[in-house]
């Protein structure tokens, strides 16, 4: 192989490497223009050297090519890093790996495959990005939450996601009770819903929430039920569920969580309430503790994470937490934050 051919192959590999490097540089990636040019030229140099050495000594010309692949693996590992819940740099690592392969093709004189590979890789890095954005996708994040054994937490967690417009779906919780006496842990997988399902959930939430009026921007209170029959029906339904097990996200008929019980009770009385304690607080009329009437809802925690129904005589019916059943208890709780009348 004469010097002119060597220089021609080096220049061609630099040109093809610069095409891919420019795309990476334009997108602000770590391995940009210069990196891709050097990778392509280095691969071409090593390949031409292996051909020259094997021609003179009769050795195996593929041994240096395998070394190139190994070396590129170390470079690729250097551009992959974890950022929060996301791993970044995988596409850039794959691009420099392909750039080295293009350099090897140029080194052995396979120009047409080298040009074709460059065009295809450039198409994948540009046009396929738009196709990827149009495809539905799921995102997952694992959260471990620790809390005091006697506290009620899950309603606040689910209310937080509900207020986000149904953007996430929460998988069943896995319990992990620590034998050393530490607070129990609950691990859950949170999956982001596809855009279409998220928009549908947002429309449903808007339909269930009264529109705001006036200058203050607060939601107007829902109208109180006509007469006492509505509240009496809700109380009767709630009391009929006493003894049924608590189930996170449950809305009956076999099990309930706290807001599932109150929403089902008022639904039996002809009044619709969202399945979230914080959202129920937002759509009910504020009443003082001294003015409570049977059927009113009592809210607890900051942020609000629990709701129960007042039944009179200083008592309320509630679905407390996992491991317990729907029960009647005293309203005397220190974390009471307010009451609402549907």
Q: What b/e sequence results for 90-127 when a residue is b if at least 16 CB atoms lie within 10 Å of its CB, and e otherwise?
A: ebbbbbbebbbbbbbbbbbeeeeebbebbeebbeebee
Provide the 3-class DSSP secondary structure of residue 174: strand
How many angstroms separate the CA atoms of 153 and 278, rounded?
12
Q: What pLDDT score does 173 carry?
A: 45
User: In 3D, which of 96, 93, 75 has the Cα closest to residue 20?
Assistant: 96
Q: Map tokens 């192989």 to a residue.
A: 1
pLDDT by 10s per residue, the chain, length 342: 677 887 888 888 888 888 888 887 887 776 778 888 888 888 887 788 777 766 666 666 666 667 777 777 777 777 777 665 567 777 878 888 888 888 888 888 888 888 888 888 888 888 777 776 677 666 555 556 665 555 555 555 555 555 544 445 444 444 444 444 444 444 444 454 454 444 554 554 454 444 333 333 333 333 333 335 688 999 999 999 999 999 888 888 999 999 999 999 999 998 999 999 989 998 999 999 889 999 999 999 888 999 999 999 999 999 998 889 999 999 998 889 999 999
User: In 3D, which of 223, 233, 273, 229 has the Cα closest to residue 251?
Assistant: 273
How many angstroms separate the CA atoms of 174 and 276, rounded?
21
Options 3.20.20.70, 3.90.1720.10, 3.40.50.150, 3.30.465.10; CATH for 229-341 is: 3.90.1720.10
Structure tokens at 263: 């929403």
Instruction: Judge whether 142 and 187 are in contact, CB under 8 Å.
Output: yes
Q: What pLDDT score does 144 carry?
A: 62
Q: What pLDDT score does 307 carry?
A: 94
Q: What pLDDT score does 287 carry?
A: 93
Pure H helices in 32-137? 33-57, 62-78, 90-107, 111-134
User: In 3D, which of 177, 321, 216 has the Cα closest to residue 261?
Assistant: 321
Give the contacts of 239 (CB within 8 A, at least 6 positions apart): 311, 317, 328
Locate CATH 3.30.70 in the chain.
139-206
Structure tokens at 115: 């040009």
Q: What pLDDT score does 74 carry?
A: 73
Provide the 3-class DSSP secondary structure of residue 233: helix
Q: Which CATH architecture has domain 139-206?
A: 2-Layer Sandwich (3.30)
Burial classification of residue 160, based on how many CB atoms lie within 10 Å of its CB (0-12 exposed, 13-18 middle, 19 or more buried):
middle
How many angstroms separate the CA atoms of 196 and 139, rounded?
14
Q: What pLDDT score does 221 carry?
A: 36
Q: What pLDDT score does 1 carry?
A: 61
How many angstroms separate the CA atoms of 107 and 47, rounded?
5
């Amino acid at each position: 192989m004469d010097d002119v051919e060597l220089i021609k192959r080096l220049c061609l590999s630099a040109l093809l490497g610069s095409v891919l490097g420019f795309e990476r540089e334009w997108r602000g990636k770590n391995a940009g223009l210069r990196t891709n040019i050097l990778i392509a030229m280095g691969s071409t140099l090593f390949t031409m050297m292996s051909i020259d050495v094997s021609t003179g000594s009769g050795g195996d010309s593929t041994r240096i090519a395998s070394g190139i692949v190994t070396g590129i693996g170390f470079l690729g590992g250097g551009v992959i890093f974890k950022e929060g819940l996301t791993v970044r740099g995988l596409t850039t690592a794959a691009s420099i790996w392909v750039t080295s392969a293009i350099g090897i093709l140029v080194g052995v004189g396979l120009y047409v495959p080298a040009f074709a590979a460059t065009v295809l890789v450039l198409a994948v890095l540009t046009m396929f990005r738009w196709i990827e954005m149009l495809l539905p996708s799921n995102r997952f994040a694992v959260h471990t939450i620790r809390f005091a054994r006697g506290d009620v937490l899950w309603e606040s967690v689910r209310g937080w996601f509900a207020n986000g417009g149904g953007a996430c779906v929460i998988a069943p919780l896995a319990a992990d009770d620590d034998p050393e006496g530490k607070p129990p842990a609950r691990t859950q997988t949170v999956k982001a819903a596809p855009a279409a399902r998220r928009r549908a959930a947002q429309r449903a939430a808007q339909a269930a929430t009264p529109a705001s009026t006036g200058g203050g921007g607060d939601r107007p209170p829902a109208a109180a039920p006509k007469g006492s029959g509505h509240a009496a029906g809700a109380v009767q339904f709630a009391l009929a569920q006493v003894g049924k097990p608590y189930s996170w996200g449950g809305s009956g008929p076999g099990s309930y969580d706290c807001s599932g019980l109150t929403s089902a009770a008022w639904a039996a009385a002809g009044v619709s309430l969202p399945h979230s304690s914080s959202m129920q607080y937002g759509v009910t009329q504020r009443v003082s503790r001294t003015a409570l009437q049977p059927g009113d809802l009592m809210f607890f925690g900051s942020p609000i994470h629990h709701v129960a129904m007042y039944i009179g005589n200083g008592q309320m019916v509630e679905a407390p937490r996992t491991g317990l059943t729907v029960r009647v208890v005293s309203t005397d709780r220190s974390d009471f934050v307010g009451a609402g009348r549907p």
